[in-house]
Amino acid sequence: DTAVSQTPKYLVTQMGNDKSIKCEQNLGHDTMYWYKQDSKKFLKIMFSYNNKELIINETVPNRFSPKSPDKAHLNLHINSLELGDSAVYFCASSQALLGAYGYTFGSGTRLTVV
Amino acid sequence: DAKTTQPPSMDCAEGRAANLPCNHSTISGNEYVYWYRQIHSQGPQYIIHGLKNNETNEMASLIITEDRKSSTLILPHATLRDTAVYYCIVRAYNNAGNMLTFGGGTRLMVKP
């Protein structure tokens, strides 16, 4: 039973398209995150949500819009995809926003924009 | 987050202990030291964290110096499956805007 699951695992799409990546956690955690790992392998925080509420938006273009229908789900919608959006996107969750809790990561979604 | 410094790469013989160092000389009193690893093409995996005492779990041991300016992650008997990038991160536990921030990490290669 996967703790943090992302779908799809792979996504290949053309420039200009709109796509969504879904994330679900079954850990009962309050806080969820999206990270982006580019071709140079640096992992960067994009968004943080706590109990469905946006906490952090780290200088991400507004083409990226996270949506949290409930605290177990944090989906990422991307409009007008660009070549530079190609990366691996990781969803993560933690028990709470504050406190010394570890993050549990999903296995990633590899997005390729052609 | 306090900046951390790790060697970019290390080798270790299979079955031997892997000792991964991390410098965090500007760490604050409210910051924990976390270790994560990322095995090729997988999501980062939590290993261990600590504040000032040494910690041990089924995966590893974390040794933090008394002044908290550096730490060492110890994998007691490294296996080939421990080949990964290991990240040392410091993060405040009481700052809502303080997310887990990854640096370059140490690429550990365990060799037969």
Closest C-alpha among B50, B55, B69, B62 to residue B18: B62
Tell if the CB–CB gap between A97 and B32 is shorter than 8 Å.
Answer: no
Contacts of B45 in chain A (CB under 8 A): 105
| pLDDT band at residue B2 using 50, 70 and 90 as cut-offs | low
Tell if the CB–CB gap between B44 and A103 is shorter than 8 Å.
Answer: yes
CA distances from A14 to A20, A84, A112, B89 (A): 14, 12, 8, 36
User: What pLDDT shows up at residue B96?
Assistant: 72
- A25-34, A36-45, B16-25: least confidently modelled range: A36-45
- A36-40, B4-8, B16-20: least confidently modelled range: A36-40
Tell if the CB–CB gap between A92 and B43 is shorter than 8 Å.
Answer: yes
Contacts of A45 in chain B (CB under 8 A): 99-101
| pLDDT band at residue B94 using 50, 70 and 90 as cut-offs | confident
Separation in Å, CA of B34 to nearest CA in chain A: 8
Average pLDDT, chain A: 92
- B24-38, B72-86, B95-109: least confidently modelled range: B95-109
DSSP for chain A, please give it.
--SEEEE-SEEEE-TT--EEEEEEE-S--SEEEEEEE-TT--EEEEEEEETTEEEEE-S--TTEEEEEEETTEEEEEE-S--GGG-EEEEEEEES-SSSS---EE---EEEEE-
Contacts of B88 in chain A (CB under 8 A): none
Report, as an integer, the average pLDDT of B36-47: 94
Q: Is the pLDDT of residue A1 over 70?
A: no
CB proximity list for A46: less than 8 A, separation 6 or greater = A33, A34, A35, A36, A57, A58, A60, A64, A66, A76, A89
User: What pLDDT shows up at residue B41?
Assistant: 81
Q: Say which residue, A87 or A42, is predicted with more confidence.
A: A87
Closest C-alpha among A80, A49, A44 to residue A59: A44
Q: Is the pLDDT of residue A17 over 70?
A: yes
Count of Cβ atoms closer than 10 Å to residue B97 Cβ: 9
Tell if the CB–CB gap between B43 and A105 is shorter than 8 Å.
Answer: yes
